[in-house]
Copies of this chain bind each other. A is one copy, B any other.
């Protein structure tokens, strides 16, 4: 395990791209973007696509995520 620090994710403190808060009840879309379950549900009522990358989301748009 090398000592190099990669300036990528800061301790993986995942914030929701919709509400900008720490993610509550995390779910992941099939395209790999993570949201609060209520936030993505609300977004999908407006448009059936991923808010971050616009991937079309169909009948099974996301699954629960255990993080």
Contacts and interface: CB of A to CB of B under 8 A. Distances in A.
Given A66-B34, A67-B67, A22 B28 contact: no
A31 interface: yes
Best-surrounded residue of A14, A21, A33 (most CB of chain B within 10 A): A14
A3 to B, nearest CB: 13
Q: Is the interface of A mostly helix, strand, loop or mixed?
A: loop
Interface residues on A, range: 20 to 34
Given A28-B63, A65-B65, 13 more contacts: A11-B11, A11-B13, A12-B12, A12-B22, A12-B23, A28-B32, A30-B63, A31-B63, A32-B64, A32-B65, A32-B66, A52-B66, A67-B67
